[in-house]
Chains A and B, each alone.
Chain A
C-alpha cells in the first residue's frame, strides 16, 4: 500500500507478505466492485446473460476470501504482527468479510434480472440505476482510499452514506405508492424494492470499509454510530 511508505522489515519476507496481503484485498475489492457494476448493468439493460455471469463469478469472490483469510491466519501465527502490522492484518480480515457480502448482494441483484425481464420495464428502473451508480461510486472510493491510504477519502464516503439512505427512502416510498395504485406493479415493484435494499446494504459495507481504513491508518476508531434518519420500514 502506497500509504505505508515506511521502512521495510529487517525480515524481508515479512514485508513482502504484508504487501501481498494488501494487494490481494485490493484485487478482491476490484472483483467485488465489478460484480456490483455488472449486476447493475444487467438490470439496466435487461441482459440475462450478463446477470447469469455475475451469479457465477460470485464464487470467485468467496474463494478469494477463503484464500486471504488463510494467509492472515498464517501471518498471525508465524509472524506475530503488532502495531501497524497487526492493523494491516485485522483490517484485511474485516474488509474481506465486507467484500464477500458485497459480492453476495451483487449476486442477489443479478438473480432478480430474469424475473424483471418477464414483465414490462418500469419507470423506476432508472431511479434504481441512479442509486446503484451512487453506491458503486462509494465502493470505488473506499477501495481507492484503501490502496492509497487516504483516510480523508474514506471518511468522506462514510459521511456521504446518508445520501444512499435518502435515495433508498425516497425510492421505497414511491414504489410502495405505485404498487398500491397499480397492482400490476406489485411483481416488478417487489423485486426493485429488494434490489434497492441490497444496494443500500452495499452502501453500508462501503461505510464499514471506510471505518476500517480509518482504523488501519490512524489506529483510532471513527465514531461508532453515525446519526441516522428514520428507516423507511419504520415510517411507512
Chain B
C-alpha cells in the first residue's frame, strides 16, 4: 500500500476540554512493516496529566502507535516510521535523541507482566542505578520504597524485597513493572493491555493506580475492554485499519460517537 497516493484518512476530532496541556503530538505519523501499512498518517494531540485510551479492533495499529512514542519500532527490522512524533515539542525520531534515555522518559507496561529474573528490589532499583538517579545506597532504597508505594505494592512486599519478582502474583507483578517504570521519573507511561491477564480485583487495583498516576504523568493505555477505557480515561482514540478515526473526550466518545465505525465498534456491532 503506497500510503501517500491515497487521500489522507480523516479524523473526527471532538473539542478537547480547555486547559489541557499537550504532551505528545503526532503529525502525519505512518508506520510500515515491509510493504504493509500499519499506521496511516495519524494526527493527534495527547494531553499531559491525563489518561488517553487507545481502542480499536485487533491489528488496527494500537501497539504500533504506542511503540512510536518510545521508539520501540526501532527494534523491529522491517518497521519504518514516517512523519513526526513529538514529546513536549521535541522530535522523538531526531538523531540527537538517545533511545535508552527516551525509554526512561517514556515507560512501558505490557500485557504480560515482565519482571526481570531478579529480586523485587533489583527490579525497581535497576533503572535508577543505570541512570545514576541515586547518589548512594540509602537514596536508592528510598527510590525503591517510594516507587513501590506509588505503585500500591509496598505494603505487600516490604518484608520480601529480596525474593524474586517472578514469585509475585500476576497482578502484583504488573504493579511491580509499573513501580519499575515510575522509578526512573518518566514523563509518559504507555500501557499495552495491562489488565488483560488480571482478575477483577487486580484490575481494579491497577485502574485505581492509573487514576492516581494521572496526577503526575501522561498515560496512554491500550485496552480491549470498552468498560475499562470508559472507566480510566479522559480521552479516547479509536483506531481502525491503521487510521485514527475518532478522538475526543471519553465521555463524548462513549455517549455520542460521531463516526459510524466508532459506534459500531464500541457497541459491539458488525462494522
A residues with a Cβ closer than 8 A to B are 6-11, 14, 80-87, 219-220
Contact with A along B245-271 (1 / 0, CB 8 A): 000000000111100100110111111
B227 beta carbon closer than 8 Å to chain A: yes
**A10-B255 contact given A80-B227, A82-B230, A84-B263, CB 8 Å threshold:** no
- Given pairs A7-B264, A9-B268, 5 additional interface contacts (CB within 8 A): A9-B269, A81-B267, A83-B255, A86-B255, A219-B255
A81 CA / B254 CA spacing, docked (Å): 10
From the candidates B256, B260, B267, B269, name the one contacting A219 in the complex (CB within 8 A).
B256
CA distance A205 to B31 in the complex (A): 55
Q: Is B12 an interface residue (CB 8 A)?
A: no
Note all chain A residues with C-beta closer than 8 A to B260: 6
Asked if A83 and B254 sit within 8 Å, CB to CB, the answer is yes
- A residues within 8 A CB of B263? 6, 83-84
Sample 14 A-B pairs with CB under 8 A, ordered by A number.
A6-B263, A7-B269, A7-B270, A7-B271, A8-B270, A9-B268, A9-B270, A80-B227, A82-B230, A82-B266, A83-B254, A83-B267, A84-B267, A85-B267
Q: Which 7 A-B pairs have the closest CB atoms?
A: A219-B256, A7-B269, A7-B270, A82-B254, A85-B267, A9-B268, A10-B268
Cα-based distance from A6 to B263 in the complex (angstroms): 10
Asked if A8 and B267 sit within 8 Å, CB to CB, the answer is: no
Set of chain A residues within 8 Å of B255, measured between Cβ atoms: 82-83, 86-87, 219
Contacts of A219 in B (CB 8 A): 255-256
Closest to A82 in B: B254
User: B256, A220: Cβ atoms under 8 Å?
Assistant: yes
Q: Is B161 positioned at the interface, with any CB of A under 8 Å from its CB?
A: no
Of chain B, the residue at the smallest CB distance from A80 is B227
Across the interface, name the chain B residue whose C-beta is closest to A14: B268
Shortest B39–chain A CB gap in Å is 25
A10 to B230, CA, bound (A): 20
- Find out whether the CB atom of A8 lies under 8 angstroms from the CB atom of B269: yes
Residue of A7, A80, A85, A220 contacting most chain B CB atoms (<10 Å):
A7
Q: Please give the distance in Å from A19's CB to the nearest CB on chain B.
A: 13
In the bound complex, do residue A10 and residue B254 qualify as a contact, i.e. CB atoms below 8 Å apart?
Answer: no
Report the minimal beta-carbon distance from B229 to chain A, rounded to whole angstroms. Answer: 10
**Chain A positions within 8 Å of B257 at CB level:** 83
Find chain A residues with CB under 8 A from B270 CB.
7-10
A18 to B255 CA separation, bound complex (whole angstroms) = 17
B224 to A: closest C-beta gap in Å: 14
Kindly state whether residue B168 has any CB partner on chain A within 8 Å.
Answer: no
Residue of A nearest to B269 (CB): A7
In the complex, which residue of chain A has the Cβ closest to the Cβ of B264?
A: A7
Name which residue of chain A comes closest to B226, CB basis.
A82
Give Cα distance in the complex from A14 to B263, angstroms.
15
* Chain B residues whose C-beta falls within 8 Å of the C-beta of A83 in the assembled complex: 254-257, 263, 266-267
Query: A219 — nearest CB in chain B belongs to which residue?
Result: B256
Query: Shortest CB–CB separation between residue B58 and chain A, in angstroms?
Result: 14
Cα distance A14–B255 in the bound complex, in angstroms = 18
In the complex formed, the residue of A with least CB distance to B271 is A7
Query: Contacts A83-B257, A83-B263, A84-B263 hold; do A6 and B269 have CB atoms under 8 A apart?
Result: yes
Rounded to whole angstroms, the CA-CA distance of A2 and B100 in the bound complex is 57
Chain B contacts of A10 at CB under 8 A? 268-270
Q: Which residue on A lies nearest to B270, using beta carbons?
A: A7
CA separation between A86 and B256, bound complex, in Å? 10
Near A by CB (< 8 A), chain B positions 216-256 give 226-227, 230, 254-256
Complex Cα spacing A14 to B264, Å: 13
- A82 proximity list for chain B (CB < 8 A): 226, 230, 254-255, 266-267
Q: Is the CB of A11 within 8 A of B267?
A: no
Please give, as numbers and ranges, the residues of chain A lying within 8 Å of B271 by CB-CB distance.
7
Return B140 CB to nearest CB of chain A, in Å: 45
Bound-state CA distance A85–B255 (Å) is 9
| Most chain A beta carbons < 10 A, residue from B226, B255, B270 | B255
* Chain A residues with CB under 8 A of B227: 80
B residues less than 8 Å from A11 (CB atoms): 268
Query: Bound state CA distance, A80 and B257, in angstroms?
Result: 16
Within the assembled complex, what's the spacing in Å between the Cα atoms of A86 and B270? 18
Q: How far is the CA of A83 from the CA of B258 in the complex (A)?
A: 10
B48 to chain A, nearest CB (A): 27
CB distance from B38 to the nearest CB of A (A): 25
Task: Name which residue of chain B comes closest to A79, CB basis.
Answer: B268
Report B-chain residues with C-beta under 8 Å of the C-beta of A6.
Answer: 260, 263-264, 269
Chain A residues near B254: list those with CB within 8 A: 82-83
